[in-house]
């Protein structure tokens, strides 16, 4: 097979990147928000204490909805016994499956319980258990669940990957905070994305955080509502400060992060403002302030505030003064903010200064992938493999390097992968379309049944049932197509 030209694959590799979520940075870039908060673990020691957390119930609720809908269809078709059987089976079995489906962690292993997830693992060949030392990536996404005044309530979804196993769980209580504290504290930072590191360091109970803010005399969001508008300014002049003032600034810095991750953005900005008045030269403080301001700008949909957050990020970069770990994470923040050229510059600057920075090399691989420079992607992942500190990271970077090398060397394999990704995108679009058709058909059912217009009701039932069936088939197809085509299997088919 002939070599694929780098220029020719820019668009297609970008498509693969968009669909695959190949790395931690891509998921971070998807949501410009902020997190919830944990007490820092004192020692990275294992514990045999078992922690469990219930998985997100969304899929089970969807199954209940579908079962109830088709029960109604069977009643309409006068198949009462079938309807009763389906209804009883669904409302007995599905809640049971939901109740038993949990993710458990006991010191050195994480696994998922429940009949359905274990059955799915048998079907697609994935693992249902994962050792802590086998974890390759941890990514956390923040989703805005509710906005009320200056407060934005987030729901966090954490995904743990390794050795063809994947576990996802969402925030919503003490179980999530305990799980995050126990797992994240015992893993190297290079396995965690930026948001996961924040959760490890600052995740706390929101009521306790608000109490600390009250003791620190931070006003409520209602009082601060107009304090951080587009015309607000925060000065960053350098000055000499006493040791006790540094301690106060550090406390306000931590409190600001806890407030930010809990969603109390206006109060977080006020705490950052007070900390910056005491210690305006602290690069990490400015960096965290920039990210908080960016989250607030996203919630307010303010382009001007987003530009201000970028300006604060550049100020943090200037004040970093050889802090290569901070510079690497600054590069990730630039990537998250959408300034890819600046991110590239910071990653390169970090490597020139430190020569060994796993996060910077991985970041450069991400940027090269966006640019379609496949040879650079291979080179950077190979470099990341040499710098990887754990066996799991070495395995992941080796797999990424080999995958892109195969894409680059085998044009036919690359075309098959692109076809797979394009098919997933087509299915995603089709899924939204058929769901809309089903929803628009429900009024026809209601109208036909209430007014005894059988022809209208028949059209509504037929359209919605076909659409919902197609919707389920598309979802299953997407999951079956989610994994990359194994190169060994591809060679055997030739």
The CA distance from 78 to 72, in Å, is: 10
* Mean pLDDT value of segment 96-112: 89
What's the whole-number average pLDDT of the chain? Answer: 82
pLDDT bin (cut points 50, 70, 90) of residue 150 is low
pLDDT bin (cut points 50, 70, 90) of residue 233 is low
* Mean pLDDT value of segment 16-30: 39
Lowest mean pLDDT among 34-48, 189-203, 319-333, 374-388: 34-48
Residue 256: closest CA among 181, 201, 194, 312: 201
Contacts of 234 (CB under 8 A, 6+ apart): 273, 276, 289
User: Does residue 150 contact residue 225 with C-beta atoms inside 8 Å?
Assistant: yes
Tokens of 493: 């088919």
Q: Give 419-456 pLDDT, tens digit per residue.
A: 998 999 999 999 999 999 999 999 889 888 888 888 88
> Which pLDDT does position 41 carry in this prediction?
38
> Which pLDDT does position 87 carry in this prediction?
94
Task: Outline where 216-302 has alpha helix (H).
Answer: 243-262, 265-278, 283-300
Q: Give 258-311 pLDDT, tens digit per residue.
A: 999 988 898 999 999 999 999 888 999 999 999 999 988 888 888 888 899 999
Residue 253: closest CA among 269, 240, 242: 269
* Mean pLDDT value of segment 83-105: 92
The CA distance from 253 to 287, in Å, is: 11
Of 162 and 486, more confident: 162
pLDDT bin (cut points 50, 70, 90) of residue 147 is confident
pLDDT at 145 over 80: no
> Which pLDDT does position 378 carry in this prediction?
93
pLDDT bin (cut points 50, 70, 90) of residue 137 is very high
Q: Give 179-196 pLDDT, tens digit per residue.
A: 998 899 889 999 999 999
Q: Please give the C-alpha separations between residue 328 and each of 307, 361, 489, in angstroms, as whole numbers.
A: 21, 9, 38
* Mean pLDDT value of segment 106-128: 81
Concatenating the DSSP letter of every residue in 299-360 gives HHT-HHHHHHHHHHHHHHHHH-TT-HHHHHHHHHHHHHHT-HHHHHHHHHHHHHHHS--HHH
pLDDT bin (cut points 50, 70, 90) of residue 398 is very high
pLDDT bin (cut points 50, 70, 90) of residue 354 is confident
pLDDT bin (cut points 50, 70, 90) of residue 35 is very low
> The whole model's pTM is what?
0.80
> Which pLDDT does position 377 carry in this prediction?
92
Residue 376: closest CA among 350, 405, 339: 405
The CA distance from 253 to 401, in Å, is: 39
Q: Give 53-93 pLDDT, tens digit per residue.
A: 888 888 899 999 999 999 999 998 889 899 999 999 999 99
User: Does residue 127 contact residue 165 with C-beta atoms inside 8 Å?
Assistant: yes
């Amino acid at each position: 097979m002939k070599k694929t030209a780098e220029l020719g694959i820019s668009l297609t590799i970008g498509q693969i990147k968009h669909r695959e979520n190949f790395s931690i940075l891509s998921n971070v870039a998807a949501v410009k928000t902020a997190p919830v908060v944990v007490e820092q673990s004192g020692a990275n020691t294992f514990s045999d204490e078992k922690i469990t957390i219930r998985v997100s119930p969304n899929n089970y609720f969807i199954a209940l909805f579908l079962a109830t809908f088709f029960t109604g269809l069977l009643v309409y078709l006068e198949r009462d016994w079938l309807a009763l059987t389906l209804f009883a089976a669904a409302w007995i079995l599905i809640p049971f499956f939901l109740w038993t489906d949990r993710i458990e962690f006991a010191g050195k292993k994480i696994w998922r319980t429940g009949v359905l997830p274990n059955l799915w693992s048998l079907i697609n060949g994935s693992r249902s258990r994962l050792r802590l030392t086998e974890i390759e990536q941890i990514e956390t996404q923040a989703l805005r669940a509710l906005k009320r005044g200056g407060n934005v309530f987030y729901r966090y979804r954490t995904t743990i990957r390794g050795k063809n196993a994947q576990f996802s769980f969402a925030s919503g209580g003490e179980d999530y905070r305990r799980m995050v504290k126990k797992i994240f504290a015992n893993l190297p930072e290079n396995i965690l994305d930026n948001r996961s590191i924040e959760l490890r360091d600052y995740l706390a109970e929101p009521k306790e955080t608000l109490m600390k803010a009250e003791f620190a005399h931070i006003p409520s969001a209602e009082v601060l509502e107009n304090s951080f508008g587009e015309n607000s300014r925060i000065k960053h002049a350098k000055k000499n400060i006493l040791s006790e003032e540094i301690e106060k600034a550090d406390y306000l810095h931590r409190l600001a992060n806890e407030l930010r991750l809990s969603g109390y953005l206006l109060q977080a900005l006020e705490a950052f403002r007070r900390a910056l008045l005491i210690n305006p030269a602290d690069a990490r403080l400015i960096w965290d302030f920039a990210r908080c301001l960016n989250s607030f700008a996203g919630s307010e949909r303010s382009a001007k505030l987003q530009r201000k957050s970028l300006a604060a990020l550049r100020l943090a970069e200037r004040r970093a003064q050889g802090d290569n770990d901070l510079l690497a994470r600054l590069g990730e923040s630039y990537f998250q903010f959408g300034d890819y050229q600046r991110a590239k510059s910071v990653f390169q600057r970090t490597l020139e200064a430190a020569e060994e920075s796993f996060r910077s090399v991985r970041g450069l691989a991400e940027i090269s992938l966006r640019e379609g420079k496949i040879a650079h992607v291979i080179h950077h992942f190979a470099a990341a493999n040499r710098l990887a500190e754990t066996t799991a990271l070495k395995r992941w970077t080796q797999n990424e390097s080999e995958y892109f090398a195969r894409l680059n060397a085998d044009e036919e394999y690359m075309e098959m992968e692109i076809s797979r990704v394009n098919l997933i995108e087509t299915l995603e679009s089709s899924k939204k379309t058929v769901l809309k058709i089903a929803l628009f058909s429900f009024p026809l059912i209601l109208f036909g049944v209430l007014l005894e217009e059988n022809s209208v009701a028949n059209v509504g039932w037929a359209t919605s049932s076909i659409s919902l069936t197609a919707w389920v088939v598309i979802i299953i197809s997407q999951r079956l197509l989610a994994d990359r085509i194994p190169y060994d299997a591809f060679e055997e088919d030739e």
